[in-house]
Amino acid sequence: MASFVRGNKVICSGTFKAANGDDTQPGAAELLLRYADVNGDPTEEVLEMTMNPTSKVWSAEWDSRLSAGGPVEWVIRSVIGLQAATQGQFTIKANAANIADYD
């Protein structure tokens, strides 16, 4: 399982393929993340994804500064058109020295 140090931006990406193998792309896609914030409270965040028109790879960038250490569950899913999804998990490594300060 992949791991990242808190404070890094994490790029999540994926591709879509129709069940019949066509290169059909959804009209929109989103990244949903579930994790614990720095206070330990369960948090859900949804990010809009963008597609590279050449590679057909959809991606979104997540700022991990407000997460606690531990598992982050994610799902990439189509929003308009093609119905498809993929999911996974990665880990945020954190300690008291890398808590974001927004004051």
Residue indicated by tokens 């579930």: 34
Q: What's the gap between Cα 26 and its chain centre?
A: 17
Strand partners, 13: 59
Which pLDDT belongs to residue 100?
Answer: 66
Which pLDDT belongs to residue 102?
Answer: 55
Which pLDDT belongs to residue 35?
Answer: 97
Which pLDDT belongs to residue 81?
Answer: 80
**Which ranges of the chain have pLDDT less than 50?**
103
Residue indicated by tokens 């998990």: 89
Which pLDDT belongs to residue 7?
Answer: 92
Which pLDDT belongs to residue 2?
Answer: 94
Put simply, whether the predicted model's pTM sits higher than 0.85 gets the answer yes
Closest Cα to residue 13, out of 53, 57, 45? 57
| Paired tokens of 19 | 């069940």
